[in-house]
Amino acid sequence: MHRIRTIQVTIGMARLGIGVVTETPAAAAGARSRFSRLLVLACAVTLVGSIIPARAQTAGPRLFFTDIVSGPSSGGQNNLGAFITIYGEGFGAAQGSSTVTIGGRPVAGVTSWGQNKAARGLDRIVVQPGPGAATGNIVVTVGGQASNALPFTVRAGNIYFLNPATGDDGNPGTYAQPWATIWRPRQSMVAGDILYVVGGTFTQMDPDAPGWDTLLMLDTSFCASGTASAPVAYLGYPGKPPLFKNASARRGIYLNQDSGPLSHIVIGNMRFGLMDEAILVTGVGQRIVGNDLSNGGEGNKIGVFGDTSAIKILGNRMRSNGTPTGKSYDIYVQGFGINRDIEVGWNELRNRRGGRSMQVFGHVAGDRVDKLVIHDNVMVGCELNNIVLGGSDGGTEILGTVTVTGNIIAGSRSAEGLRVNDPQGRVIIENNTLYGNAVAQLYLERAGAKRITLRNNIIVAKAGQQYYELDAGSSSSSIVSANNLVFGAGPCAGWDKSCINEDPLFAGASDYHLKSGSPAIDRGVATSVSRDHDGIARPQGAAFDVGAYEYTAAGALIRDGPSP
């Protein structure tokens, strides 16, 4: 069987994309380093900045998500409409000649343009659409390359401002005359309205929610709910996010539906310091985006409970939370009802001092978690498991379908990286990179027959660690596996017939991109994971690559930078 590889060579100002063939799969591995027995099939030369073949293509900008998906195109600061924060990769450090369009029209204002500015080292742009904007797709163009599109709907709504340094609650809440306290806006805001909080530190308990020990409660008894087409948004002002902190507070912001259904609230670009639970989420359609929840004490940073659905937790940074002896979590999907259709993506959960990075658990009979998607997160350095799926104090098997794709799960200090504990749950684990987690990388405590799909993962163990730990409540019959790469703890498991047992050749000690010649390149099976951790389309070569990253010869230009 012949194997085709593409090699990139740079000569002066030109790049060469060379297709080469080796006679056997075994020879392919040696050819990567020795270039022996190669037949040059094709060569294409292009100037830097133009299109180059196959893996040598320079990746253009990739859009992942925005804080809001609809808003006014006028009103607000300078009458240019809502601020829209765009998150992705490949934007570059400065705008230069790059452009942002909505519905094919240039935006009226670009407030900021930054590289490696958000969680996970994501790039971030803030724009205002302007009165001429129309509903359509957001597209970012850098160096002549257009990004993928994200939809944005132009609609009616008020834009309000709150500035504790200069405001007064008797003001109309405009940019020139802002409000002062965090509780004042909910008296005026209705579906479709947006609030920007300009800096400030908020420490006082909500006077309208005595006994709840929360700094801000949103409850339909004294605030408006949003709708799918007209959400209510509480957002930090670009470049000046507010800080919520109070060591005595149980909660920072509480989205509460005890008084009736609460839906479609956006909480974005806020900072949370020392307190118990930073954001507690109930209801439908809530969107928790781009917040910084770091250096907090014991307690969960983002909690989801009660009957909830259509929840999005995107691009939040959670670092160095918890206490050494504590057992709380950065993200906790905690039952007390049915939690359905939840997306947890592009977050950074790092160095939790106690407890787990993310836990999915039930507490009462009838709890259920279904259609949970955990993707493209960085979960590194937790004291216990980086992810736990399943378990219940109420004796109920809670898991429906859970999908875990494109994540970096690494360095848990005293427990396994990913733990599954539910015989009825269907868990799909694809294109992740698991590295150096204590005890084992994947622990199946309880899992039913053929309930775990394990495909295209890189699983690396360090000294004294295992690839897998299968407890009495599970067995190898629980796993449907294909094309996983394991390294560091001996050979492949006997039940994993398509396993690859080679050094994955990571780019660096904590950089899990693939080097040229990695045995993970083109060794995966096709899955529904259409883009990798960096937003690069799969496949780039003859087949999917194994692990969270798809290899590209332009990798140095596109990989995550250090998160600030």
Give me the pLDDT at residue 554, please: 61
557 phi/psi in degrees, rounded to 5 = -85, -15
Spatial contact of 545 and 553, defined as CB atoms under 8 Å apart:
no
pLDDT band at 560 (very low <50, low <70, confident <90, very high): low
Spatial contact of 306 and 282, defined as CB atoms under 8 Å apart:
yes
What is the tens place of the pLDDT at every residue in 183-215? 999 999 999 999 999 999 999 999 999 999 999
Average pLDDT for residues 531-550, to the nearest whole number? 97
pLDDT band at 298 (very low <50, low <70, confident <90, very high): confident
What is the tens place of the pLDDT at every residue in 344-387? 999 999 999 989 999 999 999 999 999 999 999 999 999 999 99
Q: Which of 77-86, 224-233, 321-330, 465-474 has the lowest mean pLDDT?
A: 321-330
Nearest-angstrom CA–CA distance, 403 and 426 = 8
Residues pairing with 232 in the sheet: 265
Nearest-angstrom CA–CA distance, 252 and 272 = 7
Residues pairing with 244 in the sheet: 202, 272
What is the tens place of the pLDDT at every residue in 438-477? 999 999 999 999 999 999 999 999 999 999 999 999 999 9
* Domain chopping of the chain, boundaries: 3-57, 62-154
Nearest-angstrom CA–CA distance, 525 and 455 = 8
CB atoms within 10 A of CB 98: 18
Give me the pLDDT at residue 24, please: 41
What is the tens place of the pLDDT at every residue in 248-279? 999 999 999 999 999 999 999 999 998 889 99
Q: Structure pTM?
A: 0.90
Tell me, what DSSP letter sits at residue 203? -
What's CA 122's distance to the chain center, in Å?
10
90 phi/psi in degrees, rounded to 5 = 80, 20
Give me the pLDDT at residue 474, please: 95
Spatial contact of 517 and 500, defined as CB atoms under 8 Å apart:
no
Nearest-angstrom CA–CA distance, 246 and 276 = 9
Spatial contact of 331 and 357, defined as CB atoms under 8 Å apart:
yes
CATH number for the domain whose boundaries are 62-154: 2.60.40.10
Measured at the CA of 425, the angle between CA 361 and CA 390, to 5 degrees, comes to 20
Q: What does the block give as tokens for 302?
A: 């983002």
pLDDT reading at 181 higher than 70? yes
Nearest-angstrom CA–CA distance, 347 and 320 = 14
Give me the pLDDT at residue 305, please: 93
pLDDT reading at 97 higher than 80? yes
Give me the pLDDT at residue 297, please: 79
Work out the end-to-end distance of the chain between its first and last CA atoms, rounded to an integer number of angstroms.
Answer: 47
Nearest-angstrom CA–CA distance, 42 and 246 = 64
pLDDT band at 561 (very low <50, low <70, confident <90, very high): low
Q: What does the block give as tokens for 46?
A: 């292009």
Query: Among positive and negative, which fits the CA dihedral 256, 262, 263, 268?
Result: negative
- CA nearest to 214, candidates 306, 277, 304, 281: 277
Give me the pLDDT at residue 562, please: 55
Residue bearing tokens 């659905």: 309
Average pLDDT for residues 131-144, to the nearest whole number? 97
What is the tens place of the pLDDT at every residue in 483-497? 999 999 999 999 999
pLDDT band at 555 (very low <50, low <70, confident <90, very high): very low
- Any residues with CB less than 8 A from the CB of 178 and at least 6 apart, and which? 160, 161, 162, 163, 166, 167, 171, 198
What is the tens place of the pLDDT at every residue in 39-86? 332 333 232 333 333 443 457 999 999 999 999 999 999 999 999 999
Spatial contact of 333 and 306, defined as CB atoms under 8 Å apart:
no
What is the tens place of the pLDDT at every residue in 381-407? 999 999 999 999 988 899 999 999 999
Give me the pLDDT at residue 412, please: 97
Spatial contact of 259 and 233, defined as CB atoms under 8 Å apart:
no
Spatial contact of 225 and 191, defined as CB atoms under 8 Å apart:
yes
Indicate the helix (H) or strand (E) that contains 556: helix 555-558
Give me the pLDDT at residue 253, please: 98
Measured at the CA of 301, the angle between CA 469 and CA 67, to 5 degrees, comes to 110
